[in-house]
Amino acid sequence: MAMAGSGPLGTAVSLGMEAAALPRPVIGLVMSAYFAGLTLGSLLAYRVVLRVGHIRAFTAFASVVSAVTLLYPLLPPPYAWVPLRLAEGFCMAGIFICVESWLNDHAGPASRGRILASYMICVYLGQASGQAALALDGGGDAMRVFLLVSVLISFAVLPVALTRMPSPALPEVISFPARRLWAASPLGIAGTIASGLVLGSVYALGPVFARDAAGFEAGGAALFMAVLIAGGVLLQWPLGRLSDAFDRRRVIVATLALLTAAALLVAFMAERGGLPLLGAAAAFGGVALALYPLCVAHTNDHLSRGDRVAASGGLVLAYSAGATAGPLLASAAMVALGGRGLFLFAAAVGLLGLGFAAWRLLARAPVPAERQGTFQPQPGTTPIAAPLDPRTALPAAGTAAS
């Protein structure tokens, strides 16, 4: 329910600023504040959980997001919305930390992979299905849309607030030096940043593209975003299984090539609209959302089992840094190239990533097949999700994620 509320909230905010005819760089700035808040929350929100416990912390974080949702139509955009987006991102990170540590506490060695995959499906399908809220109003920024989003997020509190289960301990995730992580896998870090750049920009400005370049109304823009996100669930497993059977770097190269081609296809299908554009969006979402877990798997191939949980923190922060910068850079591309500049920017990122990945094929020998781990679908939320990955060594319960 929290994801079904937060998914359309970003779309509604983006469409609201588009309807107000705000400059693209301003929209990019406001939308990037969410990812900046998510990054800060990944680093700091655990302190709230440690102080008051999971149930109270989850209730507090969700209550703030619900209240922030109601403030958007009451405060004038754009700059009053920057702290709202920042607070929203911070509190969503807190919600992720609470949920992921609870899942960790109840996951056994044999069930961690299934739980992580199910969690990923809940995150993405929640975001996709929640886009239906935008069908309530043709403008996409009416008060009743924000009211429904607030109601969904408020209802998400009930199962947690009424539970009799004890709060779990936070798993300890030790910091992993960035220099050491880069030395272990330059391609993993570069691919993770590229994934953040692409997905951050598309999550933030995809609704603007759908309105500006494709001529969709609010409901059509919401459908565009829903199809794009849902496509990400469908292609992660096939690409992941291919990466288990072959040199994973070659699958990453192929994924980046497909991402570049799919982004160009979306950009040039904008004028046609309808099913061709939605099909291109689904294909783009499929390869774009598969890039991050492929890069995590490749990085894990170069790390000992005991280091993988710690390294996940660096990978999440690399993704978040890319996602924060993505809307700012993509908005500049949209100023220069029009609405389709969003996906031309995504294609440029994919092409640069493709060149770097091709160079890494020549710069380093492949990981021997017997040392290559198995692919695990996962979302780029917080480092607390890392112990759910069955490829990692189970950490002892600790006091914080650092």
Q: Say what the pLDDT of residue 394 is.
A: 52
Q: Say what the pLDDT of residue 392 is.
A: 65
> Which of 158, 173, 199 has its CA nearest to residue 307?
173
Q: Say what the pLDDT of residue 393 is.
A: 55
Question: What's the whole-number mean pLDDT along residues 367-378?
Answer: 71
Q: In this structure, what token pair is assigned to residue 23?
A: 């400059």
pLDDT at 390 exceeding the cut of 70: no
pLDDT in tens, 168-218: 776 666 667 778 888 888 998 999 999 999 999 999 999 999 988 888 888
Q: Say what the pLDDT of residue 387 is.
A: 66
Question: Given pLDDT bands bounded at 50, 70 and 90, which one contains residue 386?
Answer: low
Say whether pTM exceeds 0.85: yes
Q: What are phi and psi of 171, to 5 degrees?
A: -70, 145
Answer whether 233's CB lies under 8 Å from 248's CB. no
Which one of 2-11, 99-108, 313-322, 327-336 scores highest in mean pLDDT? Answer: 327-336
Q: What b-and-e string marks burial along 10-45, b requiring 16 or more CB atoms within 10 Å of the CB?
A: bbbbbbbbbeeebebbbbbbbbbbbbbbbbebbbeb
Higher-confidence position of 98 and 355: 355
Q: Say what the pLDDT of residue 197 is.
A: 96
Q: Say what the pLDDT of residue 315 is.
A: 84
Instruction: List CB contacts of 395: < 8 A, sequence separation 6 or more.
Output: 171, 172, 173, 309, 387
Q: Say what the pLDDT of residue 140 is.
A: 44
Which one of 77-86, 124-133, 215-224, 292-301 scores highest in mean pLDDT? Answer: 77-86
Question: Given pLDDT bands bounded at 50, 70 and 90, which one contains residue 164?
Answer: confident
394 found inside a domain: no
168 found inside a domain: no
pLDDT in tens, 212-247: 888 888 888 889 999 999 988 888 778 878 877 888
104 found inside a domain: yes
170 found inside a domain: no
396 found inside a domain: no
Find the domain containing 362 and state its range: 2-162+176-388
167 found inside a domain: no
58 found inside a domain: yes
Q: Computed from CA positions of residues 229, 230, 231, 236, in that sequence, does the dihedral angle turn out positive or negative?
A: positive
Question: Given pLDDT bands bounded at 50, 70 and 90, which one contains residue 349?
Answer: very high
pLDDT averaged over the chain?
Answer: 85
65 found inside a domain: yes
Instruction: List CB contacts of 172: < 8 A, sequence separation 6 or more.
Output: 395, 396, 397, 398, 399, 400, 401, 402
Between the CA of residue 386 and those of 93, 134, 142, 352, what are the distances in Å?
A: 14, 33, 38, 28
Instruction: Assess whether the previous peptide bond of 377 is cis (omega < 30° from 0).
Output: no
pLDDT at 35 exceeding the cut of 50: yes
Number of folded domains that form the chain: 1
CATH no. for residue 185? 1.20.1250.20
Of 95-99, 110-114, 152-156, 237-241, give the lowest mean pLDDT range.
110-114
Q: Say what the pLDDT of residue 396 is.
A: 44
Q: What are phi and psi of 397, to 5 degrees?
A: -65, 140
Q: Say what the pLDDT of residue 135 is.
A: 72
